Amino acid sequence: MKSSFLPLIAACCALAVTAQAQNYPTKPIRIIVPFVPAGPTDNQARWAAQQLTAALGQQVIVDNRPGAGGVPGTEAVVRSAPDGYTLLAGNPGPLTIAPSVRAQMPYDPLRDLAPIALIARSASCVCLHPSLPAKNVKEFVALAKAQPGKINYGSPGVGTVGHFATELFAFQSGVKLNHIPYKGAAQYTVDLIAGNIELAINQFAIATPYVNAGKLRCLGATSRERSPLLPNVPTIAEQGIKDFESYNWNGVLAPAGTPPAIISRIADIIAKQLATPEAKALYSGQGHEASGITTTAYADFLKAETEKWAKIAKVANIPKQ
């Protein structure tokens, strides 16, 4: 007899979820940013919060929870109720790279989070100190091969995009470089300008003023297309490192199990706003590429990025910590 009630119970639960999604939102929403304020992830989260606040009629609050490479803040979202009131400002570190560098992960990014929308991708340039004689990728590869492990490069730390992107470049070009981890881009950029390290990957928005001033040399862009900020600089792929591509990126995700209707509503708002001339001009001016891919396409993107960085961790012998 009990089994006859199961379909009725399931139907009632489905109706409750549908009603919840239709009435959403009835209270403020928070976007957890697992990094400090004023960085790229925080900036793009605040843009998303403004768009959602205007479209949904409820305040969307940015909640910064930095530390440990973004993993604790991401875990806080994973452990939250899947009701659409707690969202995540995602980036590669805690989502697609951390599984390759952490011995113990408190969550599975591909299983425990529901991708909503990729906001933007940020290309970077491989920057050299001007004292190095290399003017292009071919000359740099020849220089690096003549002194394996002697050229030092900086990154924001082990397991960051800057670290893995440089190792990807080294792997695909067949050179060996020496990694010097820092606590952030500001610190290693100072050392790069001073000549204390020879190479680092910097986002175009950071690198462009120094390149234009002759304090740094941009070896090539990490994107498929040239950056509008330095259009005369060819991509790494253009210079013979076939299929090389690396981006920092930011998006919005929710805890797995969040009702699809809520996911779709948020995704539609973000995608619509990213398609406006204002958003495209904003992101292009900062050296970013406005994206707008949502749900399934964003999930496929995360899976491909995770697999790519896992391969690099293996070939570069980056140990899990």
Residue 300 vs residues 98, 177, 247, 306: alpha-carbon distances, Å = 18, 31, 16, 10
Q: How far apart are CA 113 and CA 78, in angstroms?
A: 7
Q: What one-character DSSP code corresponds to residue 238?
A: G
CA diameter of the chain: 82
Q: Are 152 and 245 in contact (CB under 8 A)?
A: no
3-state SS, residue 128: strand
DSSP lists the bridge partners of residue 178 as 152
Which residue in 174, 130, 134, 127 sits closest to 153, CA to CA?
127
Q: Phi and psi for 247 in degrees, rounded to 5?
A: -135, 150
pLDDT of residue 1: 45
pLDDT score, position 13: 47
Cβ atoms of 100 and 319 within 8 Å: the answer is: no
CA triple 191-197-199, angle to 5 deg: 110
Within a 10 A sphere around the Cβ of 232, how many other Cβ atoms? 7
User: What pLDDT is attached to residue 11?
Assistant: 46
Q: What is the pLDDT along the chain (321 residues), one digit of tens a residue?
A: 455 554 555 444 444 555 557 799 999 999 999 988 888 899 999 999 999 999 999 999 999 998 888 999 999 999 999 999 999 999 999 999 999 999 999 999 999 999 999 999 988 999 999 999 999 999 999 999 999 999 999 998 888 899 999 999 999 999 999 999 987 788 899 999 999 999 999 988 889 999 999 999 999 999 999 998 899 999 999 999 988 999 999 999 999 999 999 999 999 999 999 999 999 999 888 888 889 899 999 999 999 999 999 999 999 889 888
pLDDT of residue 287: 83
Ordered domains of the chain (ranges, CATH): 29-121+249-315 (3.40.190.150), 124-239 (3.40.190.10)
| Beta strands, E only, the chain | 29-33, 60-64, 86-90, 113-122, 124-128, 152-155, 178-181, 199-203, 217-221, 248-255, 288-290
Q: What's the confidence (pLDDT) of residue 158?
A: 86
Q: What's the confidence (pLDDT) of residue 232?
A: 93
Cα separation, 145 vs 266, in Å, equals: 49
Report residue 154: phi and psi, to 5°.
-105, 155
Query: On the CB side of 214, how many CA atoms lie within 13 Å of its CA?
Result: 0
Q: C-alpha distances in angstroms, 112 versus 152, 195, 298?
A: 37, 43, 14
